Amino acid sequence: MSGQERDLQAGRVGRAHGLDGSFYVTRPVARLLTIGARLTVAGRSAAVVRRSGTDARPIVRLEGVEDRNAAEALRGMALSVDETQAPALGEGEWWAHELEGCEVLDAGHRVGTVGRLIELPSCEALEVVREDGEDPLLVPMVKDAIRRVDAAGRRIEVDGEFLGLSERPRAGGEALARSFERPEERRGD
């Protein structure tokens, strides 16, 4: 980081839960929603004093939000955490803003740039704005698809063959293609 602080999106205030000021969090980033974490909402900072529910559907209560009406007044507002207050990430983990804007390469050829990180049911994926102007490419954040991430260097190397970017057929590709031909079209038959 270049010395500037960033806010990490922790989710959005959802509907109220109960009468004590608790609310559901929509689009949650569970690791940022821990008891004691300081969240910013509506321009003010408040600590999480209650955390229940699941990681997919967390319920939180913030200090100073004491009843259902106060929780409802915040509904739809963004929750964020100052990056310097966020828990440390493990090896091979990045915050979304660290990957957004990175150049995406396949075998040294520029594919495009990362537009955003998307959470899918099974994994996260990079939405790559393609260099050739075609529809965005979704690159799952899995070892088969991503060869190397250099967030500091703003470069991500992907496996184009795995992603179907390569023009060369995969092993067995010709035999598979031939299996879909009608018998009279098969060569050498």
* Contact assessment for residue 48 and residue 11, using Cβ atoms and an 8 Å cutoff: no
Q: What mean pLDDT comes out for the span 140-149?
A: 92
Whole-number Å distance between alpha carbons of 49 and 46: 9
Confidence category of residue 186, pLDDT binned at 50, 70, 90: very low
pLDDT tens across 72-121, in order?
999 999 999 988 777 777 787 887 888 889 999 999 899 999 998 888 87
Whole-number Å distance between alpha carbons of 165 and 173: 14
- What are the residue boundaries of the structural domains of the chain, listed by start? 7-84, 96-163
Under CATH, to which class is 96-163 assigned? mainly beta
Q: Residue 179: pLDDT above 70?
A: no
Q: Which residue has the higher pLDDT, 41 or 183?
A: 41
Query: What's the pLDDT score for residue 114?
Result: 95
Query: What's the pLDDT score for residue 84?
Result: 75
pLDDT tens across 149-174, in order?
998 899 999 999 999 886 544 444 44
pLDDT tens across 1-54, in order?
444 557 888 999 999 999 999 999 998 988 899 999 999 999 899 999 999 999
Whole-number Å distance between alpha carbons of 62 and 21: 8
Query: What's the pLDDT score for residue 167?
Result: 58
Query: What's the pLDDT score for residue 21?
Result: 95
pLDDT tens across 2-14, in order?
445 578 889 999 9
Please give the sequence-ordered ranges of beta strands (E in DSSP) within the chain, or none if there are none: 7-16, 23-26, 38-41, 44-53, 58-62, 78-82, 103-106, 109-119, 124-130, 137-140, 146-150, 155-158
The pair of structure tokens assigned to 133 is 């102007």
Q: What mean pLDDT comes out for the span 134-162?
A: 92
Q: Which long-range contacts (CB under 8 A, 24 or more apart) does 70-75 make?
A: 70/21, 71/13, 71/16, 71/17, 71/21, 71/22, 71/23, 72/15, 72/16, 74/13, 74/23, 74/41, 74/42, 75/13, 75/14, 75/15, 75/16, 75/23
Choose which CATH entry (2.40.30.60, 3.40.50.300, 3.30.70.250, 3.40.630.30) describes domain 7-84.
Answer: 2.40.30.60
Q: Would you call 60 helix, strand, or coil by DSSP?
A: strand
Query: What's the pLDDT score for residue 178?
Result: 42
Query: What's the pLDDT score for residue 2?
Result: 41
Query: What's the pLDDT score for residue 119?
Result: 80
* Contact assessment for residue 35 and residue 50, using Cβ atoms and an 8 Å cutoff: yes
Q: Provide the 10 A C-beta neighbour count for residue 34.
A: 13
Q: Which residue has the higher pLDDT, 77 or 124?
A: 77
Write the Ramachandran bin of 15: left for phi over 0, alpha for psi from -120 to 50, otherwise beta. beta
The answer to whether the 7-84 and 96-163 domains have the same CATH topology is no
